[in-house]
């Protein structure tokens, strides 16, 4: 129980909640689109069961992701993916969910939600698995993952509209979220077994790499966003 009161545990909790808030919006849009052709009395069921199915699938994905992150070089790959996801958050993108196939049958809508969530959840899975690595104790990682996924359910089902409005009003939230993913990428990279002989995972190196990751996302994201605005 004492370990649950450590700063590392609650820092990881905060990171998982932030990742769910930032990366859950797209999933909420997909769920709404998948259920738009359902009769009104079935829409709530479609949203709830589709979300639960997607969350269950995500538990399995994260379980494998956390196991794979123990292998050499895979944390480096995860760190690179997280850096790219963080950069993408800072670069405006066109909404490409409009052509998502909507079903007028409950099971069809649930299947659409689960399949779409599977395709879109790579960022969420890697982010949560990476944040859980920073919990400080291996025994706390899966409880953290479960907590993060439980938090994601109300965010995805009910909170997306509010979150999207807040992001539109306060763009700094998106910037902070992108930098958070860069921060996690840095801590993930320095803890990779292949990196240990060259950059030991000391407290100084841990935070130094985290800062480097966060600033790299900010710099690349800002540059690409400016470049895209000039091209438009």
Q: CA 232 to CA 228: how far, in whole Å?
A: 6
* Residue 132 falls in which region: left (phi positive, over 0), alpha (psi -120 to 50) or beta: alpha
Above 80 in pLDDT, residue 211? Answer: yes
pLDDT at 29: 63
Q: CA 182 to CA 82: how far, in whole Å?
A: 7
Above 80 in pLDDT, residue 214? Answer: yes
pTM above 0.85, yes or no: no
pLDDT at 184: 85
Q: Give 13-64 pLDDT, tens digit per residue.
A: 777 777 776 766 666 666 766 777 788 788 878 878 887 887 788 778 877 8
Residue 108 buriedness (CB in 10 A; 0-12 / 13-18 / 19+): middle
Q: Give 184-197 pLDDT, tens digit per residue.
A: 889 888 888 888 88
Domain hosting 187: range is: 2-231
Query: Who has greater pLDDT, 91 or 36?
Result: 91
**Count of structural domains, the chain:** 1
Q: CA 169 to CA 196: how far, in whole Å?
A: 42
Residue 191: HSE in the Cβ half-sphere, 13 Å Cα cutoff: 22
In the structure encoding, which two tokens stand for residue 184, read together?
Answer: 């996690």
Nearest alpha-carbon partner for 109 in 101, 98, 119 = 101
Nearest alpha-carbon partner for 33 in 113, 94, 135 = 113
pLDDT at 220: 94
């Amino acid at each position: 129980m004492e370990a649950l009161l450590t700063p590392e545990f609650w820092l990881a909790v905060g990171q998982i909640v932030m990742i769910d808030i930032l990366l859950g919006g797209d999933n909420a849009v997909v769920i709404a689109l998948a259920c738009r052709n359902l009769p009104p009395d079935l829409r709530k069921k479609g949203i709830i069961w589709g979300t639960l199915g997607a969350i269950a699938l995500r538990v399995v994905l994260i379980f494998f992701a956390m196991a794979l992150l123990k292998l050499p070089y895979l944390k480096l790959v995860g760190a690179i993916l997280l850096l790219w996801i963080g950069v993408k958050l800072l670069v405006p993108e066109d909404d490409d969910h409009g052509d998502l196939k909507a079903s007028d049958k409950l099971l069809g809508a649930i299947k659409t939600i689960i399949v779409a969530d599977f395709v879109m959840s790579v960022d969420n899975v890697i982010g949560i698995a990476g944040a859980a690595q920073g919990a400080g104790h291996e025994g706390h990682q899966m409880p953290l993952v479960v907590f993060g996924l439980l938090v994601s359910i109300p965010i995805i089902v009910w909170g997306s509209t509010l979150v999207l409005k807040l992001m539109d009003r306060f763009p700094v939230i998106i910037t902070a979220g992108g930098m958070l993913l860069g921060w996690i990428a840095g801590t993930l990279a320095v803890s990779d077994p292949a990196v240990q002989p060259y950059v030991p995972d000391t407290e100084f190196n841990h935070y130094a790499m985290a800062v480097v990751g966060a600033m790299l996302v900010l710099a690349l994201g800002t540059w690409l966003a400016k470049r895209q605005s000039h091209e438009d």
